[in-house]
Structure 1
């Protein structure tokens, strides 16, 4: 008698996604999204991850499945917001103790992000990226469980952005932030 072979957590996630998906995209794209979702959740501690197959506003089919989620810390800070956060941290340090030379404590709350799962072998053009940006909103919709909290929107977030998740054949996933249009460069 052979011992029972249980599926891995990633295989279970892919099977669940395939059962729940509306078959509007190729199964390979759903599997890729499940792989990236698994990587974000278990390797990078993201929370509130959701799969999107349709545009949030127009409810039209997206060019491919996208994910949205909440990273454990802020991924991108607008340069003007960065200056304001540093000024605020400096004022807070002065109030705590005059002459204290401790490091500045700059805290920016994490924001929900769009994630575009891709494969390294794919060829991406500006036209394909533009089609993805056309289908999304500035900020991903909040999950129903978080909506009641009504967190204030970030006034510095003025352009759409996605996290481009590029998976290789060895299951390595690399992440890049891609903005829609020209963005003011950050100060180092």
Structure 2
């Protein structure tokens, strides 16, 4: 058996690199933005245990292209609890003689992929918020009840999770709301 010396020294592509090179985009977005969305979805699934991930190229509101591909999915636990909802949950638990917030159902979230070098303005955020709903649409193959998802009376403002990737592949996540939100209670 003979082996080429060069083939032994070649580094094998990572799982993410293989995913990026094998995925082809049917959208009108530039390939680098689609790859960024794929990278974020991969990180959410494998590092943060999100489920039901989906990459959106078209607005669920008016079926026009989104400003950039966006990701939606279910985090393993609720990312944000409105301060008034938090008070109501605490009062309910107190009435039951229990402490803490109790069981809080997770909600689908919009994720906005970005790169650290990008400059975000209020206008650019407004373009994104204009094209997304308060809640992302549920996946057809998930066991989610879309009516139940939309029924959270406390979720009345649009929000996205801004996922920012650095050159070293570090990703940080920030919750960005559309408008002014009541501060959390401590």
Question: TM-score when scaled to structure 1?
Answer: 0.88
CA gap of 1:128–1:105, structure 2 versus 1, over 3 A, is closer
> What is the CA-CA distance between 1:106 and the residue it aligns to?
2.4
Indicate which of 176, 179, 183 corresponds to 2:177: 179
Q: C-alpha separation between the residues in 2 aligned to 1:10 and 1:148? A: 28
Match of 1:81, SS state, is helix
Matched, 1:62 2:66: yes
Q: Which residue of 1 aligns with 2:14?
A: 8
1:144-155 aligned at under 5 Å gives the runs: 144-146=140-142, 149-150=145-146, 152=148, 153-155=151-153
Indicate which of 56, 74, 88 corresponds to 1:84: 88
CA RMSD of aligned residues (A): 1.8
1:1-188 aligned at under 5 Å gives the runs: 1=3, 2=7, 7-17=13-23, 19=24, 21-93=25-97, 103-146=99-142, 149-150=145-146, 152=148, 153-188=151-186
Q: Can you give the 5+ residue segments of structure 2 that lack an aligned partner in the other structure?
A: none
> What is the CA-CA distance between 1:33 and the residue it aligns to?
0.8
Question: TM-score when scaled to structure 2?
Answer: 0.89
**1:135-178 CA distances to partner (integer Å, 9 max, x unpaired)?**
10110000002367445121110000000001100000000000
Q: C-alpha separation between the residues in 2 aligned to 1:135 and 1:117? A: 15
> What is the CA-CA distance between 1:27 and the residue it aligns to?
0.8
CA gap of 1:126–1:6, structure 2 versus 1, over 3 A, is same
**1:99-135 CA distances to partner (integer Å, 9 max, x unpaired)?**
xxxx435221110000000001100000000000001
Q: C-alpha separation between the residues in 1 aligned to 2:159 and 2:101? A: 26
Q: C-alpha separation between the residues in 2 aligned to 1:105 and 1:82? A: 7
The answer on whether the counterparts of 1:71 and 1:110 sit within 8 Å (CA) in structure 2 is: yes
> What is the CA-CA distance between 1:11 and the residue it aligns to?
1.7
The answer on whether the counterparts of 1:165 and 1:176 sit within 8 Å (CA) in structure 2 is: yes
